[in-house]
Amino acid sequence: MSILALHSRPWTVFDPKNKDHRKQYNTFMKRKTWGKCPYRFIVIDEHGVLTTDIQRNMIEYYLSKEFKNTV
């Protein structure tokens, strides 16, 4: 195993329900870098671009919260 692998940030599935994940994404949007993020995010149903997939997940999360009793 490479020494770089020991000190790298852990891979984490982005979960919009996780407040810290949302906070890290907000920080990314402000700074335009993942440099201070303690995770390396992945998205399970990925379509290509990480930030676009995270945005899609965030939209679904907030829409489901706002319109939880509608079809």
11 is written with which tokens? 């891979």
Q: Find the domain containing 43 and state its range.
A: 3-66
Q: 11 — alpha (psi -120 to 50), left (phi > 0) or beta?
A: beta
Q: What is the pLDDT of residue 47?
A: 78
Per-residue pLDDT of the chain (71 residues; tens, 9 = 90+): 677 667 789 999 999 999 999 999 999 999 999 999 999 999 987 778 999 999 999 999 999 999 987 65
**β-strand partners of 13:** 42
Q: Is residue 28 part of a domain?
A: yes
* pTM, entire model: 0.81
- In angstroms, the first-to-last Cα distance of the chain is 50
What sign for the dihedral angle of Cα 48, 23, 16, 70? negative
Within-domain flag for 71: no
State the total domains in the chain: 1
Task: Please check whether residue 48 lies inside any domain of the structure.
Answer: yes
What pLDDT, on the 0 to 100 scale, is given for residue 52?
93
Question: What pLDDT, on a 0 to 100 scale, did the predictor assign at position 17?
Answer: 96
Query: What pLDDT, on the 0 to 100 scale, is given for residue 25?
Result: 97
